[in-house]
Amino acid sequence: MRDEEFLRGLKRGENWAYRILYNEYAGRIGSVARTYLGADDVDDVVQEVILRIFKGIKRFKGDSKLSTWIYKISVNVCKDYLARYKRRNEILTDFAEDEEGSLPHPVSESNTFLETAGEIEYERIMELIEKLSPEDRLLIKLRDIDGLSYEEISQVIDKPVGSVKSSLHYARKRLRKLLEGANE
């Protein structure tokens, strides 16, 4: 099926188009959410992103690829969830009885589909990636795992291409430093 036909179906609210949307993008949206937030809110984020796509699809002009637009919505929803988590954490910390007053940081669920000898190394790298900031994790995921171009990432995170390249360079440098520290 052609992209234009799919997009027209979405804009008309066709059920078949929304089934395709969910089947094609729910996994990608969930992957962004896991990268940005950890495992806890993935289902909620996927539902929220699909809902925002449903509400906003008629405003999609096609200036970018549909997938780029969906990634952008996914990142924005993740940022909203992260802000809510921080606010909730601050409120709970004020009332917490323990002296440290902090809640555990969400941890990404392991990738059980990997059953090769590289599984341990992959999990180790993913653990180290979890130590990066959400922004660094997102950049590495979008470019190195999902294969988005610098231009697409620029549209997703609302930064100039040069800033994306620079930020990604430093994110990779921080990851490399973590990897070197883990191998000592």
> pLDDT digits over 125-158, tens only?
778 888 899 999 999 889 888 889 999 999 999 9
Q: Provide the mean pLDDT of the chain.
A: 80
Among the candidates 105, 121, 154, a domain finishes at: 105
Output the six-digit token pair for 74.
Answer: 């996914």
Under a CB-based contact definition with an 8 Å cutoff, are residues 10 and 59 in contact? no
pLDDT computed for residue 120 by the predictor: 53
Query: What is the pLDDT confidence band of residue 86, given thresholds at 50, 70 and 90?
Result: low
Together in a domain, 100 and 165:
no
Q: Are residues 154 and 174 in the same domain?
A: yes
pLDDT digits (tens, 9 = 90+) for 39-59: 778 899 999 999 999 999 999
Give the per-residue pLDDT at 153.
94
Q: Are residues 101 and 114 in the same domain?
A: no
In terms of phi and psi (left: phi > 0; alpha: psi -120 to 50; beta: otherwise), the region of 13 is left
Amino acid in the structure at residue 174: R
The answer on 121 and 83 residing in a single domain is no
**69 in the same domain as 118:** no
Q: For residues 82 and 105, which has the higher predicted lDDT (pLDDT)?
A: 82
Tokens 């806890």 belong to residue: 40
> Comparing C-alpha atoms, which of 78, 91, 79 is closest to residue 44?
78
Residue 139 sits in which domain range?
110-184
- Whichever domain contains 152, its CATH number is 1.10.10.10
Same domain, 17 and 32: yes
| Same domain as 67, residue 94 | yes
pLDDT (tens digit per residue) in 1-27? 677 899 999 999 999 999 999 999 999
Instruction: Give the helix, strand, coil percentages of the chain, each rounded to 5.
Output: 75, 0, 25
The mean pLDDT of 80-94, rounded to a whole number, is 63
Distance CA 31, CA 74 (A): 10
Q: What average pLDDT does the segment 74-103 reach? A: 62
